[in-house]
Structure 1
């Protein structure tokens, strides 16, 4: 680990790269964890991979050794210049580096078929990234492996009683599995919190695009005020009469005093099937 830490610091010094914590620029310096990330993505020679936040390219080169093609998207101009010079020299002709904000990147420009995502995301764009890529109906990924804050991963894996808008959003689109914990000391500079590697395997979309938007209108209304009972949030947020909400709870087999965090995904689906007609 120390060798990679030294190399990382040297590269940053030579190429005038100044990691900024505010941008989530904490470089992983543990070879074993890089290998675990590649293994979690189950890359084969037929796979095309979108890598988000390639850093100094240590993971990029590993991915390229297993994949048919890797498209690495990097926002930082200085890191992009290093990657262009460093990776071309390393003779990996199946790597393409793109200098762009991943939230503005259109995967359909680079991928015509199935692809996987491997990402070491800046923590401040996690929610927006997940919203964008999990909900894609055209040119969406089949699998996503992410390095995230441990706390965020645990929230994504929540069960009824601790559910959140994030948990419902992620579990609606994919199965969630924590692969391993990653202590803060495995990064340079060292972040303030521990991280975790998580694998999301996307499943077939339950609703069409318009129905999906309607479903999340229901869910967002449900979580709009955490301390309030769900029936009050839904009545106010959806502008539906309380007596209709009460009847829908009875039909769905839900207690009137229940809160949004107590519902399972199946509970939400049941409630949506009943209330959908009143939301149009």
Structure 2
């Protein structure tokens, strides 16, 4: 049984609740918590995600976890190409057929890569993405986001849907109660902001938590080096500072620097109060601390 195709030439017929359940039944798919599978079934929601992403005909979009294709179909309507990375072999194999059924004139815009997004690199992709747009699995959302921003520097913007609590953390400002490792590391790559909220009822199965949209715009001219070695130095400082976030930086960074006294010396060299705590520092200050330390 084939799903109905788009009524208008060159336009995708988006998925609704009935279509999502029918496709899952046909493919023998049972959403799993292990893969963080919650499928969007609301056309207005996927249109809003695409609009918030600000992507257009010139963009090549990397989509992670396309699932049954709800967001994929909405993206194909407006962008030049979608590279969909799907870890589930069943979903990866059926996605091209779904697109052929519901958007036959847009099939040449889709490439599907069966892979783990936590391990994929630019060389694994059949194209050069300019944007990341995805409903990320809740259980690995932050690691996937940071990995892709690091591995694929051609991505200029990212619009991701994540658990609402994670969205708050990613976009938090220094000094905020929820400001932490995700906030600082995301700020290494670009400016981060909330881009909206998403209710539970647009998913199947209905998740136990609310969702949020986060947008990251990569720095047009990076204010610091973006190579792997530099990033590793900066991220090691961030991890150390927040491993004991209730302690002063002098104490929290003792193991990282070799001793509390050495940590204080490095902090003062970077113009940072040793009595400050990790949640008060900007990404730039962590970069400065790592850069000063590497020169000692």
TM-score, L = length of structure 2: 0.84
8 Å CA contact 2:250–2:260 kept in 1: the answer is no
1:200–1:55 distance in 2 versus 1, CA, 3 Å: same
The alignment yields a C-alpha RMSD, in angstroms, of 2.1
Q: CA deviation at 1:57?
A: 1.2
2:31 alignment partner in structure 1: 19
Q: Name whichever of 267-276 and 93-102 sits farther off.
A: 267-276
The structural deviation recorded for 1:168 is 0.6
**Match for 1:160 among 143, 166, 174?**
174
Give the Cα–Cα distance (whole angstroms) in 1 for the partners of residues 77 and 204 of structure 2: 25
Any idea what SS the aligned residue of 1:67 has?
coil
CA contact (8 A) 1:26 1:187 kept: yes
Structure 1 residues 40 and 14, CA gap change in structure 2 (3 angstroms): same
What is the Cα deviation at residue 113 of structure 1?
A: 4.2
Identify unmatched segments of 5+ residues in structure 2: 1-14
The 3 A distance-change label for structure 1 pair 236 and 106 is: closer
Matching residue of 1:120: 135
Instruction: Give the structure-1-normalised TM-score.
Output: 0.89
Secondary structure class of the residue paired with 2:159: strand
> What's 1:148 paired with?
162
2-side partners of 1:196 and 1:173: how far apart? 20
> Which residue of 252, 256, 267 maps to 1:237?
256
Bigger Cα displacement from structure 2, 100-109 vs 33-42: 100-109
| 1:188 and 2:207 are equivalent in the alignment | no
Conserved? CA contact 2:61–2:133, under 8 Å: yes
- Rounded Cα–Cα distance in structure 2 between residues aligned with 1:16 and 1:113: 33
| Rounded Cα–Cα distance in structure 2 between residues aligned with 1:261 and 1:217 | 15
**1-side partners of 2:153 and 2:288: how far apart?**
29
Aligned-pair distance for 1:139?
A: 4.5
Number of positions where the alignment pairs a residue of Structure 1 with one of Structure 2: 274
C-alpha separation in 1, matches of 2:36 and 2:272 = 41
Q: Compute the displacement of 1:170 (Å).
A: 0.3
Q: 1:257 aligns with which of 258, 275, 291?
A: 275
1:132 alignment partner in structure 2: 147
